């Protein structure tokens, strides 16, 4: 039975030492006067913010501190102690402890360890007034992003001015067109009419050329037709001559036989 208790105690020391070694901060607090409901409410607040919180025996806390070389822990090993551990936000637990104290006048910090440095109860109160990690990151982002926003705003102003200049130029051009002398407009009208007349003349020339081309084609067709008729007539005449010649030769042949 005694060996089991000792083994269990050693395991608790080992687990606590591992937690403290991984932590970015831990707070040893005095919870004297806190009832069960208040303790459960406090645990819930720590848990909702991803912080650990539990009551710890002084003997286990002392041995875990010895294993890690945290000698300062020995100075607060009187009375009941609980510990809050944070693995990311170093000052988050300080805010919860400070807010809880304002509401209940209970729970005081005995000692705080943040990233290699020790802080007293009064110093923790000052830390609780600092912005949270999320707020600090947001402020840093705004600080970095601010020049970009100024540049975008400046660029927007430049583009806006450029557009206004273009609109002004457009307005001036429109006014110039409206204020042109009538003579200028008449000259332009005459130029259009001259160009129109030139176009009509050009169209007439094209039509005349097409007409002459058509006449030449008709004449050429007639000449070819006459040539074909003449050739056909000559061929008929030759055929008639051949027929006549053969007839004469036959008559001559019959007369010679009768003799």
Consecutive 10-residue runs of the chain (259 residues): their mean pLDDT? 81 96 96 93 95 96 95 94 95 93 91 94 88 68 67 63 58 59 51 59 59 62 68 73 67 62
The answer to whether residue 119 sits within a structural domain is yes
The answer to whether residue 212 sits within a structural domain is yes
Q: Helix 2-22 and helix 58-68: axis angle, to 10°?
A: 50
Same domain, 91 and 40: yes
Q: Are 115 and 90 in contact (CB under 8 A)?
A: yes
Same domain, 53 and 139: no
Q: Helix 36-48 and helix 92-104: axis angle, to 10°?
A: 150
The answer to whether residue 35 sits within a structural domain is yes
Tell me which residue range forms the domain holding 209.
194-231
Same domain, 122 and 78: yes
- Give the pLDDT confidence score for residue 240 in this predicted structure: 74
- Give the pLDDT confidence score for residue 84 in this predicted structure: 97
Same domain, 22 and 58: yes
- Give the pLDDT confidence score for residue 144 in this predicted structure: 75
Q: What is the CATH number of the domain that holds 121?
A: 3.30.70.1730
The answer to whether residue 244 sits within a structural domain is no
The answer to whether residue 4 sits within a structural domain is no
Same domain, 39 and 93: yes
Strands (E), the chain: 25-30, 52-56, 81-86, 108-114, 117-119
- Beta pairing, strands 117-119 & 52-56: unpaired
The answer to whether residue 154 sits within a structural domain is yes
Strands (E), 7-149: 25-30, 52-56, 81-86, 108-114, 117-119
HSE-CB of 188 using CA atoms within 13 angstroms: 6
Same domain, 22 and 99: yes
Same domain, 121 and 27: yes
Same domain, 87 and 154: no
């Amino acid at each position: 039975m005694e060996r089991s208790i000792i083994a269990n105690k050693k395991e608790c020391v080992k687990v606590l030492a591992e937690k403290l070694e991984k932590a970015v901060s831990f707070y040893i607090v005095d919870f004297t006067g806190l009832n069960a409901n208040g303790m459960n409410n406090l645990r819930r607040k720590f848990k909702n913010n991803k912080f650990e919180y539990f009551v710890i025996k002084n003997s286990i806390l002392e041995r875990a501190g010895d294993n890690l070389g945290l000698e300062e822990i020995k100075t607060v090993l009187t009375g009941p102690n609980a510990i809050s551990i944070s693995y990311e936000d170093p000052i988050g637990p300080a805010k919860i402890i400070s807010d809880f104290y304002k509401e209940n006048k209970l729970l005081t910090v005995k000692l705080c360890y943040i990233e290699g440095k020790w802080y007293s109860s009064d110093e923790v109160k000052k830390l609780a007034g600092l912005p949270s990690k999320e707020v600090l990151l947001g402020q840093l982002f705004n600080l970095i992003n601010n020049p970009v926003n100024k540049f975008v705003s400046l660029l927007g102003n430049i583009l806006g001015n450029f557009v206004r200049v273009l609109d002004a130029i457009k307005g001036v051009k429109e006014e110039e067109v409206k204020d042109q002398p009538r003579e200028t407009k008449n000259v332009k009208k005459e130029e259009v009419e001259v160009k129109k007349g030139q176009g009509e003349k050009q169209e007439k020339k094209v039509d005349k050329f097409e007409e002459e081309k058509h006449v030449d084609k008709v004449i050429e067709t007639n000449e070819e037709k006459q040539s074909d008729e003449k050739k056909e007539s000559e061929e008929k005449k030759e055929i008639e001559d051949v027929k006549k010649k053969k007839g004469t030769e036959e008559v001559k042949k019959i007369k010679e036989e009768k003799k």
